[in-house]
Amino acid sequence: MIVTFLGTTLLLFWYFGAFSYGRPQLQNPTPHEPNRPNATLTVTLPGYGSFRGTQLVTSLKKTTTFSSPVDAWLDVQYSTQPVGNDRFAPVTWPPAFDGVKDASTFGPACWQNVYSPLLQSEECLSINVFRPSSVAMDQKLPILVYLHGGSFVSGSHRSFDGAIFVKKSEQPVMVITVQYRLGALGTLPSNFMEEEGLLNLGIRDQRMMLEFLQNYVEYFGGDPNKITLGGQSAGGHSVGIHLFHNYGEDAGKPLFQQAILSSGSPTARAFPGVDYALYQRQVENFMDYVNCPTSPSSAALDCLRSAEVDDIQFISSSLYNAHNYNITWPWQPVSPGPLLEKRGSTSGEDGTFFKIPILISSTTNEGKAFAPQDLRTNAEYLAFWKTLTPGLSDQDFADLQTLYPDLQSSIEAATFISPQFDRLSAAYGDYSYICPVQDTAQRLSQAGAKVYKARFNTPNWAPAYMGIPHASDASYLNGQDGTQYPEIAETYAAYWASFVVNGDPNTYSKKGSAYWDTYEVGRGKAYAELVVNRPSEGGPVLEDERTAIRMEQCAWWRDKERAKRLNK
């Protein structure tokens, strides 16, 4: 045990240069936004307690001063907190308290990257509520509940500026941003966690938050019957997981009425089970570092709950970084597991998803944010896929060479960008985001739900060779200042806000904006999607999906039997 522990530790020290960094440093809180604490903004949640809110007068980045303030209640805990003996345990309803809690400042982020500048804590499961100060509390507003992205290992309340989205919406809306457990603390895919019923804790946190809102959001002036659950990347995948859980105890009982998925889908990337060999190795390395046994399960949990959180944070982020090159990330939700008893492709096939309006999008060059840039040969291209998708067959790997041909296999590139980069990033983008987004859009459209689909094609300061990589739309959809094309931020955020208000992105869109038609398959204006171009390319316009994405390749990735081999 000691030899293995030392080996794992030395390997990580070598890989990350940890001899110079040593252990994680104490983290300083980021400064609070200018605000105006306001005793009149006290809300009382029956059976829980009272919270005194504040009024925000600037955007999150402090680049904009508002003409009128935004009412906000910050760091409102929606559950018990996973500390002490409740670490690695599901959370439940928060305990009642007396008096009035201050809700005028943001709380800490959940534990994540060891070098993040954010103040971090295990006591992090909270929501932030934003609404216009000019609207009476008895006017119950439609709500955007936003789940941040970050590969299920990073992200926080600062991933989305709720106040600026509220200010820029033509119609009154409420925004709620959410934090949930991340990294190994959010999902430790192991046999002993499965035995104890403790898998997928992060997405179970999200579910607890949705139940909390059903009970309490009306007291903040929100309408619990007009909730749009939205998110980007891992947040979008999370939305997809909840959207495709119309079975079991949840059958016919959605906790939201609409959904927005930005580069997200329940079939995005892959969600293997605890028996996945790579996950077993990653968990073994994790347990070695914190010096805990893997059995019996009671001993494993007792040890983990008494371990230093700094050690958990360090090994959690270190193992993620060590597997980032091959995109074989640890700490992902697992299936089968709670809220993922069935994989997304299975729920899609049998129709066990909620048939509600959705707005869904991907970027043009999703994969360029992740694909290695130094692979130079076809053999290296194949090795990458065999590492990432070991369940594929020999014929599948042969297909991957045909579907994504090696156009420069004999060229030794003179630059640091490899001749395999465009090929690999196209294939990875299709596998992880573009084709799963199409799959979700088609499933819901064919089931009769209203679907609005987009291809985001505007850069945000990315180098030209990167095209429009993953998350290029993040600041635009939020309506933030400082984007490369501010007019696109105004237009795209307005589409989002209009959808939140009444399920149609056109009703309250910016004057002169292109009409965003519904996405349909096999009827009417089939395959219509909005392409969000930069202004010099005409801005947002309708296009035919069949001319914009790799349809043959998407059909290949979405094949029913292949999806099983991919753990989708």
Name the H helices within 333-471. Answer: 344-350, 378-388, 394-403, 421-429, 435-446
Closest CA to 59 of 158, 145, 136: 158
Give the contacts of 359 (CB within 8 A, at least 6 positions apart): 258, 259, 260, 261, 451, 452, 454, 495, 496, 499, 505
User: Is residue 22 left, alpha or beta, with left meaning phi > 0 and alpha meaning psi from -120 to 50?
Assistant: left
Q: Which uninterrupted H or E stretch holds 54?
A: strand 54-58
Spatial contact of 122 and 309, defined as CB atoms under 8 Å apart: yes
- Provide the residue type at 360 as one letter: I
Q: Among the options 151, 159, 233, 345, which is catalytic?
A: 233
Spatial contact of 475 and 496, defined as CB atoms under 8 Å apart: no
- Rounded alpha-carbon distances, angstroms, from residue 408 to 251, 376, 411, 412, 413: 51, 9, 5, 8, 9
pLDDT the model gives residue 546: 96
pLDDT the model gives residue 450: 97
Question: What strands lie across the sheet with 126-132, from one edge to the other?
Answer: 54-58, 65-77, 126-132, 174-178, 141-147, 222-232, 258-262, 358-363, 451-457, 528-533, 540-544
- The two three-digit tokens of residue 558, written as one number: 């979405």
* R_g of the chain computed on alpha carbons: 23
13-22 contacts, C-beta under 8 A, 24 or more apart: 15/318, 15/321, 15/322, 16/318, 16/321, 16/322, 18/318, 21/115
- pLDDT digit string (tens) for the chain, length 568 residues: 443 434 444 333 333 333 232 233 333 334 444 555 576 899 999 999 999 999 999 999 999 999 999 999 999 999 999 999 999 999 999 999 999 999 999 999 999 988 889 999 999 999 999 999 999 999 999 999 999 999 999 999 999 999 999 999 999 999 999 999 999 999 999 999 999 999 999 999 999 999 999 999 999 999 999 999 999 999 999 999 999 999 999 999 999 999 999 999 999 999 999 999 999 999 999 999 999 999 999 999 999 999 999 999 999 999 999 999 999 999 999 999 999 999 999 999 999 999 999 999 999 999 999 999 999 999 999 999 999 999 999 999 999 999 999 986 443 444 568 889 999 999 999 999 999 999 999 999 999 999 999 999 999 999 999 999 999 999 999 999 999 999 999 999 999 999 999 999 999 999 999 999 999 997 666 899 999 999 999 999 999 999 999 999 999 999 999 999 999 9
pLDDT the model gives residue 39: 65
Give the contacts of 365 (CB within 8 A, at least 6 positions apart): 425, 429, 466, 467, 468, 469
The SS3 call for residue 228 is strand
Spatial contact of 146 and 176, defined as CB atoms under 8 Å apart: yes
The SS3 call for residue 226 is strand
Strand partners, 361: 262, 454
In angstroms, rounded to a whole number, what is the distance separating the alpha carbons of residues 66 and 479? 14
Strand partners, 520: 526
In angstroms, rounded to a whole number, what is the distance separating the alpha carbons of residues 125 and 141? 23
Place of tokens 């990330």: 329
β-bridge pairing 451-457 and 358-363: parallel
Q: How many other C-beta atoms lie within 10 A of the C-beta of residue 44?
A: 12
**φ and ψ at residue 73, rounded to 5 degrees:** -125, 115
Is the dihedral angle over the CA atoms 558, 383, 364, 235 positive or is it negative? positive
Place of tokens 């820029």: 168
Q: Which uninterrupted H or E stretch holds 564?
A: helix 560-565
β-bridge pairing 49-52 and 100-102: parallel
Spatial contact of 105 and 75, defined as CB atoms under 8 Å apart: yes
Question: What strands lie across the sheet with 42-45, from one edge to the other?
Answer: 42-45, 49-52, 100-102
In angstroms, rounded to a whole number, what is the distance separating the alpha carbons of residues 44 and 504? 33
pLDDT the model gives residue 416: 66
- Helix/strand/coil (H/E/C) assignment for every residue in 292-329: CCCCCHHHHHHHHHHCCHHHHHHHHHHHHHHCCCCCCC
In angstroms, rounded to a whole number, what is the distance separating the alpha carbons of residues 520 and 308? 52
Give the contacts of 220 (CB within 8 A, at least 6 positions apart): 43, 73, 129, 131, 137, 174
pLDDT the model gives residue 26: 34
Give the CA dihedral 113, 311, 269, 241, nearest 10 degrees.
-90
Spatial contact of 30 and 50, defined as CB atoms under 8 Å apart: no
- To the query of whether residue 233 is one of the catalytic residues in this protein, the response is yes
Work out the burial of residue 111: count CB atoms within 10 Å of its CB; fewer than 13 is exposed, 13-18 middle, 19 or more buried.
buried
Q: Which uninterrupted H or E stretch holds 285?
A: helix 277-290
Spatial contact of 133 and 122, defined as CB atoms under 8 Å apart: no
β-bridge pairing 358-363 and 258-262: parallel
- Rounded to the nearest angstrom, the gap between the alpha carbon of residue 507 and the centroid of all alpha carbons in its chain is 27
β-bridge pairing 174-178 and 141-147: parallel
Spatial contact of 460 and 484, defined as CB atoms under 8 Å apart: yes
